[in-house]
Chain A
């Protein structure tokens, strides 16, 4: 059974940084592209970032480009999202999702709140 477990969310001040992690199990992690998707309170889903298998190709939504960095450690089956220069509009539940087209498995999500 595929399991994705996010961690690292919390309250951070505007301009601050946070690193999210996603621990994956139940599938051959290294073979799959992985993504981060977020949902601001009361709003719809927004794709944030994607990393292909091998980790050499990464992509970002315009809203986070230059501030967020996605990475993966295939030896530990983990996916990370380093978030810098955080803004109030980055407040959301962040989901780790398997895939780069349709997302066939999702984690439970971790809440990031950016507020002073």
Chain B
């Protein structure tokens, strides 16, 4: 299985400031034939289902605010919230789908 490791486990960010979450895969999730990294990011709030934010490492899902951005390729990825809003308080997970899906342990974002 591909192991996904996120850092940090939690972070506190002031309103309007940048939040950066890292995700590292134990092997590359880049498919060379299409140059796409099979990596997604989710936002998970208590009592709600996870919400897809980003897929193919950097493509925002429909309706996701542009303050959320994904970057990286191969084994190292980053989710950036450019200007944290109160409603962004949540746990964020990365997930690879290069093989059967596996998830990172999650990063709790607080204000």
Query: Which residues of A are interface residues toward B (Cβ below 8 A)?
Result: 35, 37, 44-47, 50, 59, 61, 95, 100-109
Contacts and interface: CB of A to CB of B under 8 A. Distances in A.
A103 B100 contact: no
B101 A47 contact: yes
B40 interface: yes
Interface residues of B, number: 20
Interface of B: 38, 40, 42, 48-52, 55, 61, 93, 95, 97, 100-106
Given A44-B104, A45-B103, A46-B103, A95 B97 contact: no
B52 A95 contact: no
B49 A44 contact: no
B20 to A, nearest CB: 20
15 contacts: A37-B101, A44-B103, A44-B104, A44-B105, A45-B95, A47-B100, A50-B100, A59-B100, A95-B50, A101-B38, A101-B97, A102-B40, A103-B50, A104-B52, A108-B48
Nearest to A6: B49
A102 B50 contact: no
A2 B59 CA distance: 20
B49 A108 contact: yes
A44 B55 contact: no
Contact of B50 (A50, A61, A101, A106): A106
Nearest to A96: B49
Q: Of A50, A105, A106, which is in contact with the most chain B CB atoms at under 10 Å from its CB?
A: A106
A43 to B, nearest CB: 8
Contacts of B51: 106
Contacts of B40: 101-103
B49 A95 contact: yes
B97 A102 contact: yes
Contacts of A50: 100
B48 to A, nearest CB: 8
Contacts of A95: 49-50
